[in-house]
Amino acid sequence: MFTPKYPTPDTATPTHHPAPEHTTAVTPTTHAQAPVPVAPARSTVQLTPGSAIALAAGGGAVVLVVGAVLVSLLLAVAITGISVAMIAVVLRLLLKDLHKR
């Protein structure tokens, strides 16, 4: 089921063309080679003072947002832990009252 299925190879025989019987003297000609295209140099990014300030403000905003998200997640975990602990105390007190009666 998982074995590969290979197609059958072509059975056509390659044709061979015989060389012409008469040979003529061929003079070597020099061909001009086409010029090789030169890749354009990469342009450097130039920061103006305004764009540098915008970039710094954007980076600061990202740091603030990520920090706020992480703090909110930490608070959510802390609140959940405290509520579970309070539920455990209440249940323990209820079970203790049930065993006394």
pLDDT digits (tens, 9 = 90+) for 75-88: 999 999 999 999 99
pLDDT digits (tens, 9 = 90+) for 26-69: 666 666 677 777 767 777 778 888 999 999 999 999 999 999 99
What pLDDT, on a 0 to 100 scale, did the predictor assign at position 23? 59
What pLDDT, on a 0 to 100 scale, did the predictor assign at position 24? 62
11-15, 51-55, 93-97, range with the lowest pLDDT: 11-15
What pLDDT, on a 0 to 100 scale, did the predictor assign at position 6? 78
* E strand or H helix at 90: helix 49-100
Residues shown for the chain: 101
Please, what's the b/e burial string for 53-71 (b: 16 or more CB within 10 A of its CB; e: otherwise)? eeeeeeeeeeeeeeeeeee
The closest alpha carbon to 57, from 69, 46, 49, belongs to 49
Q: In terms of C-beta distances under 8 Å and separation of at least 24 residues, what long-range contacts does 3-10 make, across chains too?
A: none
